[in-house]
Amino acid sequence: MSEDISFNQDGSCVCVVHPQGFSIMDTTTSAVSKLYNDKASAYSLARLYYNSSLVALVGLGEDPGFPPRELRLVDMKTGETKARVLFPTIVLNAVVNHDRLVVSLSTAIYVYNLTNMKLLQVIRNLHKVDGIIAVSNSLERNLLVYPTYSMRSCPARGSPVSAEEDLGTDTTDAAEAILQTREVSIDDDMDDTHSYDNRDNDNDYMEVSVTSPPPQDPSASLPEEQEVIKAGDIVLYDMSLMRPLAVIDAHQHALRTVALSSDGSLVATASRTGTIIRVFSTSTGHAMVRQFRRGSYRCRILRLQFSDDNRFLVVTSTSRTVHVFRVGGGVRDTKIGGARIAAEDRGAAPERSAPLSREGVARLLRGSRDATSRQWNKILGGGSGGQGSSAERHFAWCSLPGPSSNGQRGKCCAVSIGPAVHQDRTSDATAMSPREDNGKGKEDRASSDTIKNNDTESTGKNVTSSTRQTFLPVHIATGDGILYTFLLDPDAGGECALQSQMYLLGQ
Per-residue pLDDT of the chain (507 residues; tens, 9 = 90+): 788 999 999 999 999 999 889 999 998 887 778 899 998 889 999 999 999 999 999 999 888 889 999 999 999 999 999 999 999 999 999 999 999 999 999 999 999 999 999 999 999 988 888 899 999 999 889 999 999 887 666 655 444 433 344 333 333 333 333 233 323 222 333 333 344 443 333 344 444 444 344 445 544 444 455 667 778 899 999 999 999 999 999 998 899 999 999 999 999 999 999 999 999 999 865 789 999 999 888 889 999 999 999 999 999 998 889 999 999 854 334 344 333 443 343 333 333 333 444 454 444 444 544 455 445 444 433 333 344 456 899 999 999 987 654 444 556 789 999 888 887 766 555 444 444 444 444 444 444 443 344 444 445 555 566 677 899 999 999 988 899 999 999 999 999 999 999 998 875
- Which residues face 321 on adjacent strands? 399
The C-alpha angle with vertex 348 and arms to 343 and 353, in degrees rounded to 5, equals 120
Strands in 27-166 per DSSP E: 33-38, 43-48, 54-59, 70-75, 81-86, 93-96, 100-104, 109-113, 118-124, 134-135, 143-155
Cα separation, 396 vs 398, whole angstroms: 7
**Secondary structure string (H, E, C) spanning 242-306:** CEEEEEEECCCCCEEEEEECCCCCEEEEEECCCCEEEEEECCCCCEEEEEEECCCCCCCEEEEEE
Cα separation, 212 vs 332, whole angstroms: 46
CA 231 centroid distance within chain:
21
Residues 18 and 480 sit within 8 Å (Cβ to Cβ): no
Backbone dihedral angles phi then psi of residue 289, each to the nearest 5 degrees = -100, -25
Cα separation, 110 vs 105, whole angstroms: 8
Q: Which of 354, 367, 332, 312 is nearest to 468 (CA)?
A: 354
Cα separation, 91 vs 200, whole angstroms: 23
Under DSSP, is residue 63 helix (H, G, I), strand (E, B) or coil?
coil
